[in-house]
Amino acid sequence: MATSNAADFSSETDDVFARVAGRYDRLCDIFSFFIHRIWKSRMANRIADEQASLILDVASGTGDIPRRLQRILRTRPDRARPNRLLVTDLCPEMLSIARKKLGSGDRYLEYAQLDAHALNEIESDSVDLYSISFAMKICDRSRVLHEAMRVLKPGGMFYCLEAARIPNRYVHAAYLTYMDWCLPAIGWLAADGDNSTYDYLLRGIHDFPSQKLFADELRSHGFEDVSFENMTFGIVALHAARKPHRAQAPELHTEI
Ligand SMILES: C[S@@+](CC[C@H](N)C(=O)[O-])C[C@H]1O[C@@H](n2cnc3c(N)ncnc32)[C@H](O)[C@@H]1O
């Protein structure tokens, strides 16, 4: 059956994130040669620029995006703090590390165990800014985008940091070959032989749509003002989009 889950990941059949939670941060550094820190900082800066009141970070993992946002807000008084920053993930082990990293000093921080596919606890049209980093490729994109559109307020912003395609296809093919050879070797050593960690990553990198196709998917889910920013030659991209200001529900027209 066709699926829009690039990595073909299911949390019901593999609890890989619970198993690797304690070393997830180290694995990110190793797999990306520390560059994920730059990508995530860029995303957090873009989010801080929006000055949103209710921010929902989905699949937060160990809280890298909220942590960077927290640092920006502490060092830049010109940036308004959100009223609420919801740090969420399906995996309680990841969330508990996020809690420790973010501390309890900032009253705008809240934590919740939520599934990106069904954000049942979040009211429709309630979120000013929705963010998701490096989790879209392990989820069913269609369901996640449908939920993002539902929970966002009209005019609310959507940000997604994810694997992408280097625009030059020969360079991209060389990058994939390099990853196919190197990642299993590095990953096997770093993850003590737990090959799930890099299997999903590799599958996701191979099968996640190009920047332009993902932008089209966002439009087909009703988003507007869709744009993307390539990072590190297009190895990853940060997509931004807006939920239209007009009401989503069909309006009643009465003719007089
Ligand atoms: C690759 S990590 C990304 C974590 C973090 N956003 C980052 O950029 O480092 C993917 C995260 O998605 C979470 N996850 C997987 N499926 C999920 C789902 N359906 N809903 C919410 N979180 C999910 C995992 O538990 C994990 O913490």
Angle made by CA atoms 162, 206, 163, in degrees to the nearest 5? 10
Show the domain range for 137.
Answer: 16-242
- The verdict on residue 38 lying in a domain is yes
- The verdict on residue 7 lying in a domain is no
CA pair distance 256, 253, nearest whole angstrom? 10
Query: Which ligand 1 atom is the nearest neighbour of the CA of 94?
Result: 27
CA pair distance 179, 131, nearest whole angstrom? 26
CA pair distance 238, 157, nearest whole angstrom? 13
**Using a 6 Å CB cutoff, which residues line ligand 1?**
11, 17, 28, 58-61, 64, 89-91, 94, 115-117, 133-135, 138-139
Helix axes 211-220, 141-151, angle to 10 degrees: 50
Strands (E) in 120-223, as ranges, are: 127-133, 152-163
Residue with tokens 């942590």: 67
Centroid of ligand 1 to alpha carbon of 251 (angstroms) = 36
- The verdict on residue 256 lying in a domain is no
What DSSP designation does 115 have?
A: B
Sheet containing strand 127-133, edge to edge, reads: 109-113, 84-89, 54-58, 127-133, 152-163, 236-242, 224-231
> Under 8 Å CB-to-CB from 214, ≥6 apart: which residues?
160, 162, 164, 208, 228, 237, 239
CA pair distance 8, 204, nearest whole angstrom? 8
Task: Determine the average pLDDT of the residues in 30-37.
Answer: 93
Task: Determine the average pLDDT of the residues in 33-56.
Answer: 97
**Which of the listed residues 111, 138, 146, 231 should we mutate to test ligand 1's pocket, taking the one with most ligand atoms within 8 A of CB?**
138
- The verdict on residue 8 lying in a domain is no
pTM score of the predicted model: 0.93
- The verdict on residue 3 lying in a domain is no
In CATH, what number is assigned to the domain containing residue 234? 3.40.50.150
pLDDT, tens digit (0-9, with 9 covering 90-100), for 198-246? 888 899 999 999 999 999 999 999 999 999 999 999 999 999 999 999 8
Nearest CA to ligand 1 atom 4: 61
Task: Say how many domains are in the chain.
Answer: 1
- The verdict on residue 249 lying in a domain is no
**Least confident stretch, 3-17, 27-41, 67-81, 166-180:** 3-17
Instruction: Please determine, for residue 256, whether its predicted confidence score (pLDDT) is greater than 70.
Output: no
